[in-house]
Amino acid sequence: MLAALVAALLVPVLAGCGDNTPPSLPVSASMRRVIGTNALRVTGEHAGIGSSAQQASMEAWAAGYGQYQPQAVVAYDPQGSGAGATAFLQGAVSWAGTDIPLTSAQRSRSTSVCGGRKAVDLPVFVSPIAFVFHIDGLRGAHISLSAALIAQIFSGRITWWDDARIVRANPALASKLPHLRITPVWRSDQSGTSQIVSSYLAAAAPGQWTTDTGKTWPYAVGQGAKGTAGVATTVSQAQGTIGYVEKAQTGSLGTVALLQGSTPVLPEQAGASAFVSKAVRGLGTGSASSADASAKVTDLTLSPDYADTSADVYPLTQVSYLVTCPAGASSVSASARGFIGSWLYYIASRQAQDLSAQVAGSVPLPRTLGSRIQQMGRTMLKEVE
Amino acid sequence: MADHPSSASSAPALGVGNRQSVTRPETPRPDEAAGKQPQQAHAPEPPRLHRVDITGALRRDHVFTHVVRAAGLTILALLAAVTVFLIARALPLATSPRGQVARVISEASGGQATTFAGYVGPLVFGTLLVALLALLLAVPVALGVSLFIVFYCPARLRSLVSGAVDLLAAIPSVVYGLWGGLVFVPSAFGVADWFARHLGWIPLFAGPAADPPRTVASAAIVLAVMILPIITSTCRDLFGQSSLLLRESAMGLGATKWETLRLAVIGPAKNGIVSAVMLGLGRALGETMAVLMILAPGRTYSFNLLQASKSQTIAADIAAQFPEADGLGVSLLIASGLVLFVITFLVGFISRRIASGPRRHHEWGRHKEIGKQAGVIEQVEGQRRTREQNDDERLDELAARQSALFERLGAAARSSYPRRKAKNTLMTVLIWLCMLIALIPLVSVLWTVIANGIGRLDWYFLSHNMKGVVGGLPPHGGILHAMIGTLEITLFAMLLAIPVGVLCAVWLVEYAAGTKPAAVVDFLVDIMAGIPSVVAGLFAYSLFSVLIGPGTVSGAIGSVALAVLMLPTVIRTTEEMLRAVPGDLREASYGLGVTKARTIWKVVLPTALPGIVSGVILAIARVIGETAPLLITTGVLAGTNWNLFGGRMMTLPVYVYQEYSQGLAACPASGSALAAGCVSSIRSERAWAAALVLILLVLVLGLVGRLIARSADQKKGR
């Protein structure tokens, strides 16, 4: 009896400490040639810290990457963007995820961990942020709101759902909008998502949104809730609520279409993709013109134009970054460089981006951007060979 | 009573003492000697003492003295370390350029403050508001429930009801947070709305009521549920110790049951009740997770209990801001943690002053032990000891109380009998009502956790970690890594806290009682008991980031935080149990020429052991569900990490919170090859299942503690 119990307890312990057999994710031969075990061997744990927004994608990518490098352990600690940047700059981790690119001061400090070079921000995760609302009478419908209206709602200047300004923006729903108090719901913790929403409102409705665009939500109208899940839960718990969450968290809640000019644009892949592509075009050609392209890597920080009102873009789109040392950073060990190179090559690939779109609700990177990041990964891999 | 345990437990000591003797030809077997031990103890053979090789024994005695003193002084060093490291990490706030500090504070407060006072002021207000409101709600119910358990409950149900209250105490705060945020809040709007509509003219209830009601009122109600069992269990013990004589006197004079309880039970226990209430207040002030998961925070000085975004507590603010804080931002949070520390310290200090009351002196042979009435338990123990040892004194006190009773009863009797009888009936109904009110949250929490958690709780869930789990796709993952983490971190915390704690208590009770250093250490233990768990986390974080290097993460850091939280409980319980060991035992041992160290090691500690063990287990049950300090120190990890000293480690409470925080999983479109078996709500299902496991774990630990305590009590012949 006792022996059986001990055996039962030991079985999971012996079987790799309870690791799961990951779902069979897509594998391609071309990818295997570059980052498979025949090309290089990555072992040990390679932990990253950062934004909780990226966690679901990182989970999926860690599993996908594991199919090429089964000996490698990729761990992601979603403590937050700030914690990620801090840990990276202290040299505690070799890569971090952050919703906000490093500040110039942080980038100057990064030279101490990157052997004299400055760290790079690589956009790897794109997701539309959706305004979600909960009104039982409007199940399945989309309310259209302009940035100016949203700014007025969240700063407490529009307080009823049947306000004339909202009705004017939604002629089709005019009779359905209830006489119900609006409860705005926002993130009570410091978050990159709050900062992006705030930046968007400041850019697209400058007359209505005049506060600082920090990580802390500037108004105390309505209710704050901890984390994306807290916002989604709070919105779903009462009538008349409206809040902002990542697209993947919208669940069965109604989503708001942003009025771009007079065209309502939903938080879908197409609009977000178009928005990021425009921002990528603003990047220029970067290192291609430089004499030593392999060593010099430009930072890929995007400066998206949130004030863009074209009818084909969804401007409330979050771009999250992976922060790491560039190729040629002498202080990075060969094994870490091998990992970072292959990791970048994998997560910027079409395959990984599609996987993340499916299981984490993100939007695939524009092809040009993806291939530039893959190129950086290859450069690092070449250094290891 | 004194005869029984002394013969049982000093028998081994006698045997040991004899082994040192070189001249005595025949050593009686310990078993045989046991019965005659008292006579032998008082009649040692004088010549034998001279020929005993006592040098070694004395040397060991000497060493032991130093060891226990070192343990006592460790507390001093530890508290100094806590203060120094926290102040050191908070200091940049005072030394950095003013503009930079103002910018950080403005960023952290959403532009609502630029000075530290402006930042922390509303938080202090919110902390006090929520905690005091919780207290206001919890105290009457707690008193009712304790009276119910001791005096109204049918005997057969008593242990069941008592156990239910302990169960409420054992539920980790992250589970209360889940329950409060997902079950209580949505269902509370109707009541809140009614209050706002009909009592809105009272500023406290000014409407419109927030919907969902993530308000100060809701947070305070959940906190009240959390501190209810703490106050109840101490009051229950207090009332259980009330004088039967006094009660019978009151009854004999024709007092109704309620009058008897009021005059002969509650009256004399007033000091104890006050300090029980303070204990609850201390807990409410430091509570992090439940507030974090329920309250919609704000930074105003507002008494509007039914509106959202009005108040925030310091502890919840630290937990909410910490992940994104950086450099000066961390300093800001640590500084506000220090403020919380000071507040809880003041509460502890006041309760100590109230509870200390008249000091009692006990003579134990050479020992002069001044009973320090620090906690409620001590008060109870003190009363018990007094009853057993100082009957005369006790009787004097009783007589005094009785005459007071007669006077007050005389006053009561002047009102008409039907009125007194009606009041008695009313109080009986109210007390039953208190019990029912206390049962509602318990049943609701348990029902919710079981109903939501049982579905995922299977062998697969227990035997797998989260490595290789992708979104909502199968395989759906489990908690093996979190259980291993919790186990290792808790065990290491025990290893850190128990030896130091027990030895420190030995020093306080057996060596330094009555001295200045002991008084200082005793005082420091009280301060430590007031450290909020999130502050303990900040301390461990600061300590390791200064000593080992920034960004250090390991399970051991979490253990340090938990050990800081356990230590005062361990010291207090052990002190209590050591004081309960009758002085005769020590005298008997000394009389045989046994050294002090050996007496403590072989006689005093073994006698007190069951009590110590059960106290320690309750302390473990308390820290095993701690979330906030582990969230700060040990990080999260999908895979299993066996190494306590390297890398992140997952723990059960953090797992619950983490899974809840992640929200919905995205599932591939139904046409996709990956779509099969994808569960969008998988994360909350895992959170509930892990919460269920956590409750079961704490429950089993608590049960073991109670069983040990009970068997110890039976041994003592009570």
Determine which of B552, B664, B678, B680 to mutate to test the interface with A (most A C-beta atoms within 10 Å): B664
Band of residue A143 on the pLDDT scale cut at 50, 70, 90: very high
* 3-state secondary structure labels for all residues of B381-394: HHHHHHHHHCHHHH
Integer Cα distance of B499 and B131 in angstroms: 34
Q: Nearest to residue B589, comparing CAs of B33, B25, B5, B6?
A: B6
Show the CA angle centred on residue A326, arms to residues A320 and A330, nearest 5°.
145
Closest-CA distance, A304 to chain B, in angstroms, reads 22
Question: CB-based contacts of B487: which residues, under 8 Å, 6+ apart?
Answer: none
Q: Nearest to residue B21, comparing CAs of B7, B33, B5?
A: B33
Find where tokens 């599932």 sit: B667
Integer Cα distance of B152 and B130 in angstroms: 32
Q: Nearest to residue B37, comparing CAs of B72, B2, B67?
A: B2
Q: Which of A62, A223, A228 is closest, CB to CB, to B210?
A: A223
Q: Which of B185, B639, B663 is closest, CB to CB, to A249?
A: B663
Integer Cα distance of B215 and B224 in angstroms: 14
Question: Which residues in chain A have their CB less than 8 angstroms from residue B469's CB?
Answer: 20, 22, 59, 63
Closest-CA distance, A182 to chain B, in angstroms, reads 10
Question: Which residues in chain B have their CB less than 8 angstroms from residue A109's CB?
Answer: none
Integer Cα distance of A220 and A96 in angstroms: 31
Determine which of B311, B312, B465, B470 to mutate to test the interface with A (most A C-beta atoms within 10 Å): B470
- Does B663 contact A60 at a Cβ distance shorter than 8 Å? no
Residue ranges of domains in chain B: 109-356
| B2-30 as b/e: b if 16+ CB within 10 A | eeebbbebbbebbbbbbebbeeeeeeeeb
- Residue A21: closest C-alpha in chain B: B468
Show the CA angle centred on residue A247, arms to residues A245 and A249, nearest 5°.
65
Band of residue A60 on the pLDDT scale cut at 50, 70, 90: very high
Q: What is the DSSP letter of B242?
A: S
Read off the pLDDT of residues B529-544 as tens digits, 9 standing for 90 and up. 878 899 999 999 888 8
> Strand A241-246 vs strand A120-134: parallel, antiparallel, or unpaired?
antiparallel
Average pLDDT, chain A: 87
The tokens for B165 are 């209250």
Find where tokens 């100057």 sit: A108
Neighbours of B386 (CB within 10 A): 16
Band of residue A203 on the pLDDT scale cut at 50, 70, 90: very high
Q: Which helix (H) or strand (E) holds B718?
A: none
Distances (CA, A) of B686 to A233, B452, B667: 17, 9, 16
Closest-CA distance, B466 to chain A, in angstroms, reads 7
Q: Nearest to residue B517, comparing CAs of B499, B504, B530?
A: B504
Integer Cα distance of A359 and B123 in angstroms: 40
Question: Which residues in chain A have their CB less than 8 angstroms from residue B478's CB?
Answer: 18
> Strand A254-260 vs strand A120-134: parallel, antiparallel, or unpaired?
antiparallel
The pLDDT assigned to B234 comes to 84
Integer Cα distance of A293 and B202 in angstroms: 72
Integer Cα distance of B184 and A188 in angstroms: 20
Closest-CA distance, A90 to chain B, in angstroms, reads 6
Band of residue A6 on the pLDDT scale cut at 50, 70, 90: low
Integer Cα distance of A283 and A121 in angstroms: 13
**What is the complex's ipTM, to 2 decimals?**
0.88
The pLDDT assigned to A333 comes to 84
- Does B470 contact A63 at a Cβ distance shorter than 8 Å? yes
The pLDDT assigned to A157 comes to 94
Q: Which of B109, B210, B639 is closest, CB to CB, to A216?
A: B109
3-state SS assignment for residue B371: strand
Q: Which of B320, B465, B470 is closest, CB to CB, to A17?
A: B465
Asked if B513 contacts B503 with a C-beta cutoff of 8 angstroms, the reply is no
- Does B329 contact A82 at a Cβ distance shorter than 8 Å? yes
> Strand A143-145 vs strand A95-98: parallel, antiparallel, or unpaired?
unpaired
Taking phi over 0 as left and psi of -120 to 50 as alpha, with beta for the rest, A11 belongs to alpha
Q: Nearest to residue A192, comparing CAs of A317, A338, A89, A309?
A: A317
CATH superfamily of B109-356: MetI-like (1.10.3720.10)
- Does B293 contact A230 at a Cβ distance shorter than 8 Å? yes
Length of chain A: 385
Asked if B615 contacts B621 with a C-beta cutoff of 8 angstroms, the reply is no
Give start and end residues of each alpha helix (H) in B530-604. 533-547, 555-580, 583-591, 596-599
pLDDT: which is higher, A321 or A139: A321
B positions 160-219 inside 8 Å of A (CB): 181-182, 185-186, 189, 208, 210-212, 214
Asked if B238 contacts B380 with a C-beta cutoff of 8 angstroms, the reply is yes
Q: Which of B471, B664, B674 is closest, CB to CB, to A251?
A: B664
Asked if B261 contacts B235 with a C-beta cutoff of 8 angstroms, the reply is no
Asked if B101 contacts B331 with a C-beta cutoff of 8 angstroms, the reply is no
3-state SS assignment for residue B42: helix
Listed as ranges, residues in chain B with pLDDT below 70 are 1-53, 355-395, 409-415, 712-718
Question: Which residues in chain B have their CB less than 8 angstroms from residue A11's CB?
Answer: 463
Read off the pLDDT of residues A253-298 as tens digits, 9 standing for 90 and up. 999 999 998 999 999 999 999 999 998 887 765 444 443 343 344 6
Q: What is the DSSP letter of B367?
A: E
Q: Nearest to residue A352, comparing CAs of A340, A339, A365?
A: A365
- Residue B325: closest C-alpha in chain A: A82
B positions 296-325 inside 8 Å of A (CB): 296-300, 308-309, 320-321, 323-325
- Residue B660: closest C-alpha in chain A: A229
* 3-state secondary structure labels for all residues of chain A: CHHHHHHHHHHHHHCHHHCCCCCCCCCCHHHHHHHCCCCCCCCEEEEEEECHHHHHHHHHHHHHHHCCCCCEEEEEECCCHHHHHHHHHCCCCCEEEECCCCCHHHHHHHHHCCCCCCCEEEEEEEEEEEEEEECHHHCCCCEEECHHHHHHHHCCCCCECCCHHHHHHCHHHCCCCCCCECEEEEECCCCHHHHHHHHHHHHHCCCCCCCCCCCCCCCCCCEEECHHHHHHHHHHHCCCEEEEEEHHHCCCCEEEEEEECCEEECCCHHHHHHHHHHHHHCCCCHHHHCCCCCCCCCCCCCCCCCCCCCCCCCCCEEEEEEEECCCCCCCCCHHHHHHHHHHHHHHCCHHHHHHHHHHHCCECCCHHHHHHHHHHHHHHHHHHC
Asked if B27 contacts B18 with a C-beta cutoff of 8 angstroms, the reply is yes
Read off the pLDDT of residues A314-359 as tens digits, 9 standing for 90 and up. 999 999 999 999 888 878 888 888 999 999 999 999 999 999 999 8
- Does B189 contact A92 at a Cβ distance shorter than 8 Å? no
Show the CA angle centred on residue A193, arms to residues A191 and A197, nearest 5°.
125
Find where tokens 């032998």 sit: B40
Closest-CA distance, B542 to chain A, in angstroms, reads 14
Closest-CA distance, B299 to chain A, in angstroms, reads 8
Lowest-pLDDT range of A112-126, A202-216, B700-714: B700-714
Question: Which residues in chain A have their CB less than 8 angstroms from residue B557's CB?
Answer: none
Show the CA angle centred on residue A122, arms to residues A116 and A128, nearest 5°.
155
The tokens for B110 are 């959403």
The pLDDT assigned to B388 comes to 57
B positions 613-672 inside 8 Å of A (CB): 635-640, 642, 647-648, 658, 660-669, 672
